[in-house]
Structure 1
Amino acid sequence: MTAEVVAPRPTSSVRDYLRLGKFDVYDYYLGILIVASAAPAEPVTLLLFLLGEVAVIVAGVAFDDVTGYRDGSDLVNYGPDDRLRKKLRKPLVAGTLTESQALRFAWGAAAIGAALWTAAVLTAPHRPMWSVVLLVVVFAAALQYSYGLKLSYRGFQEAFLVVLGMTLVLAPHGLITGEFSGFVLVQAVLFGMGPLMFGVYSNTNDVDGDRAVGRPTVAALTTERGNARFIGALSVGEFLLGALASVTGVAPWWFALLVLPATALRARQYHLGFAVGDIMRARKLGFTAHRTCVALLVLANVLVAIG
């Protein structure tokens, strides 16, 4: 009688869940520094909001991994033919977590995020309706980004990346000050552009996998030249937003000059991606450009505060 061979179950660890939640990619969380530099200190509310956004984003990326594993796109983008992408960053593809483990983790993080954001609203000195509604909408959209309604599979991926970043600045600022600020709106858009600008380079690299599963990113829908023009337009538009804000008085006159180092990095990123043809190095430089921009936005708020 032949003994039945049972396939070994994945041996999960804390590290696998950290990889599933992409805890090493902290760029969305930097928005809280912009809020803290632009508004009076409210440490309890800010801390609750920050912890809540970590949980919500972790839930969103975990759901994204589940969907990418189910439809096979992650198997293509992180498979043996792509040596630039580390398979261990995708625990489901690597086989270190099961789908049910990933789903339990994602739903648990979502519940924690909802509780923490509710606590942030309750402890805030102000509760403008627009801030609360924005939080509710973005919370729901984050969970439906690649799961459930699959918003990113319906043409909303690029817009969502910007709106999420904007919300993580605008909503807590509204809760702390009770006001809407044009200058903070400009900063929120620039902050949201950061994740978008390394997202579109990722999409450029992942175009074959996205096309195979019908995920309509701009890179998947257009030609290589059309995608390059789209990313070029985004890069120029980012600079023009700051320049227009300075010219119109929404931002201080020196604001566009202050953020020029980030603009230079963005130009370097585009050159790397589409002149040199090294998309993944360009994507990596996008993180540096975003973090530089955040530092400059914080500096701008400090300069405004001291007059």
Structure 2
Amino acid sequence: MQRTTSVATRRAYVRLAKLDIVDYYFGVLVVWTLLPTALRLDGGVLATTGLFLLGEVFVIAAMVALDDLTGFRDGSDIANYAPDDPNRRRYRKPLVAGTLTEAQVLRFAWITGLIGALLWIAAIATAPHAPLWTVAVIGVTYFFAVQYSWGVKLSYRGFQEFFLAALGWALVLAPYGLATGSIDGNVVVQALVFGLGPLLFGVYSNTNDVKGDREVGRLTVAALATPRGNMLFILALTAVEAVLIVGGPLLGTVWWFPIALLPTLLLRVRQVRVAFGKGDILRARLLGIRVHRVTVVALVVVNLL
């Protein structure tokens, strides 16, 4: 019985850390393919990138654990993961499911946050390059990650959408800067496109969770705007991504960059139709996750070729 309980608790911690949502972690893969060929197998670069990736896993684990704790305490997660909603799986929220206690979640967040900080410090210390702008990006990213739903509660103050994208941008720009000491237009465009991926499934989650978020005062665009205003906001974000892709060659990408990312453009149209044409927001969210992964594959192919 004790062993069964221990296994169940470990599984609950894995779910708390959202380790199955790997979409931000793909940024390191994009970075590795962006590197000059001579650096891709460089020992120092690989060690630094590995430390950064491990740190990223722990920092994000701390971020989402604190987000779950805040969502449980204010009741938004309980409302959004109601037992009568078959599309939201309560077991993904250990506090709502009752598989972990608040004390366990808070302790997990503190430990993973500390480990993540130490790993990022180690990445900076061992990096071939550590320009001030890169160190600043890492420091700011760490600070606001742990403040996402805790402390200043960025996600409750109207900054959630910006942070979801900015986190993706930072997780490409920072490790690339540690490896090379510089950035160019191609790197910036790919970082921006990568960061918009998690945002363009996050806004659909917010659309679904609008009732619970309004009740607890979580100031997302979906909660603040009318349904039409929220739809226009999502369409605008989709258009920004399309402009970045189509205009990429003008900013430093290869000329065939828009062709390589044509699947992304087409799938975004489908995502919008599913959400606002058919009214299936959660299906559109799931499609958004898949679109992001298709985009990552396209970026990797572009960089390797």
- Do both share a fold (TM > 0.5)? yes
Q: What is the Cα deviation at residue 245 of structure 1?
A: 2.1
The residue number in structure 2 matching 1:255 is: 257
Of 228, 231, 241, which residue of structure 1 is paired with 2:231? 228
Counterpart residue number, 2:34: 38
| 1:184 corresponds to which of 182, 187, 195 | 187
**Which whole-Å CA distance do the structure 1 matches of 2:34 and 2:300 have between them?**
8
Deviation of residue 90 (structure 1)? 0.4
Tell me the distance in 2 between the aligned counterparts of 1:171 and 1:89: 30
Aligned residue number for residue 288 of structure 2: 286
Partner residue of 2:19? 23
User: CA separation in 2, counterparts of 1:59 and 1:261?
Assistant: 33
Shift of 1:81: 3.2
| Aligned residue among 158, 162, 171 for 1:159 | 162
Q: Distance in 2 between matches of 1:269 and 1:135?
A: 32
Conserved? CA contact 2:166–2:195, under 8 Å: yes
The alignment covers a number of residue pairs equal to 293
- Paired residue for 1:51, among 49, 54, 63? 54
CA deviation after TM superposition for structure 1 residue 83, in Å: 1.8
Kindly provide the amino acid, as one letter, of the partner of residue 124 in structure 2.
V
Given that 2:185 and 2:251 are in contact with CA atoms closer than 8 Å, whether structure 1 keeps it comes out as no
Residue type of the alignment partner of 2:200: M
Long gaps (5+) in structure 1: 1-9
Q: Partners of 1:32 and 1:245 in 2: how far apart?
A: 20
2:105 alignment partner in structure 1:
102
Q: 1:117 aligns with which of 110, 115, 120?
A: 120
Establish whether residue 91 from structure 1 lines up as the match of residue 89 from structure 2.
no
Q: Is the 8 A contact 2:275 2:281 kept in 1?
A: yes
Please give the alpha-carbon distance, in whole angstroms, between the structure 2 residues aligned to 1:37 and 1:16: 34
Determine the structure 2 residue equivalent to 1:148. Answer: 151
1:67 and 2:70 aligned: yes
Q: CA deviation at 1:249?
A: 4.5
Percent of residue pairs bearing the same amino acid type: 56
Residue identity opposite 1:17 in structure 2? Y
The DSSP-based 3-state class of the residue aligned with 1:137 is: helix
| Aligned-CA RMSD value | 1.1
* Aligned counterpart, 2:270: 268
- Secondary structure at 1:155's aligned position in 2? coil
One-letter amino acid matched to 1:157: Q
**C-alpha displacement of 1:296:** 0.7
Q: Please state how far the C-alpha of 1:240 moved relative to its aligned partner.
A: 0.6
1:28 match: secondary structure:
coil
Higher Rg: 1
Over 6 Å off, 4+ runs:
none
Please give the alpha-carbon distance, in whole angstroms, between the structure 2 residues aligned to 1:223 and 1:232.
14
Please give the secondary structure, in 2, of the residue aligned with 1:13. Answer: helix
- Please give the per-residue CA displacement for 1:135-166, whole angstroms capped at 9, x wherever unaligned: 00010100000011101111000000011000
**Corresponding residue of 1:295:** 297
The gaps in structure 2 that reach 5 residues or longer are: none
The 8 Å contact of residues 29 and 300 in structure 2, kept in 1 or not, is answered as yes
